[in-house]
C-alpha cells in the first residue's frame, strides 16, 4: 500500500500595504512627518544620476548611477550609493508601509519611477498642483510666470536662495564623469575644480529639496 502524502500547509503571503488615500484640498496642510521629498538630477531622457531626499528632518543624497559611485569616497557625510532599482523599490515600500507621500515639484519624479520601476501614483504628490491652486485663490495677479520652483522660492522670499554659477547640471556631470573615467575612479585625484563643482551640484540639489518644503510651508500646504 503506497504511503500517504502528508498534507501540505498553505503558503502564507504577506498582503501588500493598502494604498494611501489621494489628498483633497481640505487635507492641507500635510504634516512634514507624512512626506518624503525627492528631487532627481541627471541627464535628459536618461535614468537619474542621483537623488536628493528629505525625510524625518534629515537630508541625504543617494547616487544611483554606478559610473559615479566612486564619488561616495569624497567623504560627504550625507552621500551614499544605491542601485536605482533598489532605491526606487525601497522608497515606494517606505511610503506604503509608513503611510507617507512621495513629493516632487512636478511629474518628473513620478515619471522616473514609472520608467525605471513602476507606477507610484497612489503615493505621489505633485506639489505644483496645490501650489497652483494656492495662487488661484490667493494671488492670481502675481502668480509667477514661468511657474518654476526657483520662481516660487523668489516669490516667497526664500532667504537661503542662491544662484549657482555652474553651466548646468549635465555639463558638470559630464566634466566629473570624464575625470572619473580617466582616473579609473580615483576620486582623490579629481581636480579641485571638478570636486568643487560636484559639491556645488549637491548644494544646488539640496536647495531645491529644502526650497520646495519652504514654499509648501509658506502656502500652508506643509506643516512642521
What per-residue confidence (pLDDT) applies to 20? 77
β-pairing verdict for 79-81 and 101-104: unpaired
What per-residue confidence (pLDDT) applies to 21? 77
**C-alpha cell of residue 52:** 536628493
Instruction: Reply yes or no on whether the pLDDT at 38 is more than 70.
Output: yes
What per-residue confidence (pLDDT) applies to 10? 60
Task: Tell me: cis bond preceding 80? Omega within 30 of 0 counts.
Answer: no
Question: Where are the domains positioned within the chain?
Answer: 28-223
Instruction: Reply yes or no on whether the pLDDT at 9 is more than 70.
Output: no
**C-alpha cell of residue 182:** 580617466
Instruction: Reply yes or no on whether the pLDDT at 2 is more than 60.
Output: no
Contact 62, 53 (CB under 8 A): yes
Instruction: Reply yes or no on whether the pLDDT at 1 is more than 60.
Output: no
What is d(CA 40, CA 108) in angstroms, rounded to the nearest whole number?
A: 8
List, for residues 39-98, the tens digit of each pLDDT value. 999 999 999 999 999 999 999 999 999 999 999 999 888 999 999 999 999 999 999 999
DSSP at 98: T
Question: Which of 82, 102, 81 is CA-nearest to residue 91?
Answer: 102
What's the mean pLDDT in 106-120? Answer: 97
Contact 195, 180 (CB under 8 A): no
What is d(CA 38, CA 158) in angstroms, rounded to the nearest whole number?
A: 19
Choices 1.10.490, 1.10.3470, 3.30.420, 2.60.40: CATH for 28-223: 3.30.420
β-pairing verdict for 50-55 and 35-41: antiparallel
What is d(CA 70, CA 171) in angstroms, rounded to the nearest whole number?
A: 19
What per-residue confidence (pLDDT) applies to 22? 81
Residues 165, 166, 167, 171: what is their CA dihedral angle, to the nearest 10 degrees? 180
What is d(CA 75, CA 7) in angstroms, rounded to the nearest whole number?
A: 56
Question: Which of 40, 85, 88 is CA-nearest to residue 208?
Answer: 40
Amino acid at each position: 500500500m503506497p504511503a500517504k502524502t502528508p498534507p501540505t500547509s498553505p503558503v502564507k503571503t504577506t498582503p501588500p500595504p493598502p494604498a494611501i488615500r489621494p489628498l483633497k484640498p481640505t487635507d492641507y496642510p500635510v504634516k512634514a512627518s507624512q512626506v518624503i521629498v525627492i528631487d532627481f538630477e541627471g541627464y535628459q531622457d536618461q535614468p537619474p544620476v542621483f537623488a536628493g531626499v528629505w525625510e524625518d528632518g534629515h537630508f541625504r543624497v543617494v547616487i544611483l548611477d554606478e559610473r559615479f559611485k566612486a564619488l561616495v569616497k569624497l567623504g560627504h557625510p550625507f552621500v551614499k550609493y544605491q542601485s536605482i532599482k533598489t532605491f526606487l523599490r525601497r522608497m515606494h515600500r517606505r511610503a506604503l508601509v509608513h503611510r507617507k507621500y512621495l513629493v516632487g515639484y512636478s511629474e518628473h519624479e513620478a515619471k522616473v519611477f514609472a520608467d525605471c520601476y513602476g507606477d507610484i501614483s497612489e503615493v505621489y504628490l505633485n506639489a505644483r498642483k496645490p501650489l497652483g491652486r494656492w495662487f488661484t485663490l490667493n494671488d492670481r495677479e502675481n502668480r509667477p510666470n514661468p511657474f518654476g520652483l526657483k520662481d516660487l522660492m523668489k516669490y516667497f522670499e526664500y532667504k537661503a536662495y542662491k544662484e549657482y554659477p555652474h553651466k548646468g547640471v549635465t555639463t558638470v556631470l559630464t566634466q566629473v564623469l570624464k575625470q572619473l573615467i580617466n582616473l579609473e575612479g580615483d576620486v582623490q585625484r579629481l581636480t579641485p575644480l571638478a570636486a568643487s563643482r560636484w559639491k556645488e551640484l549637491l548644494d544646488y540639489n539640496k536647495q531645491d529639496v529644502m526650497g520646495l518644503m519652504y514654499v509648501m510651508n509658506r502656502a500652508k500646504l506643509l506643516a512642521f
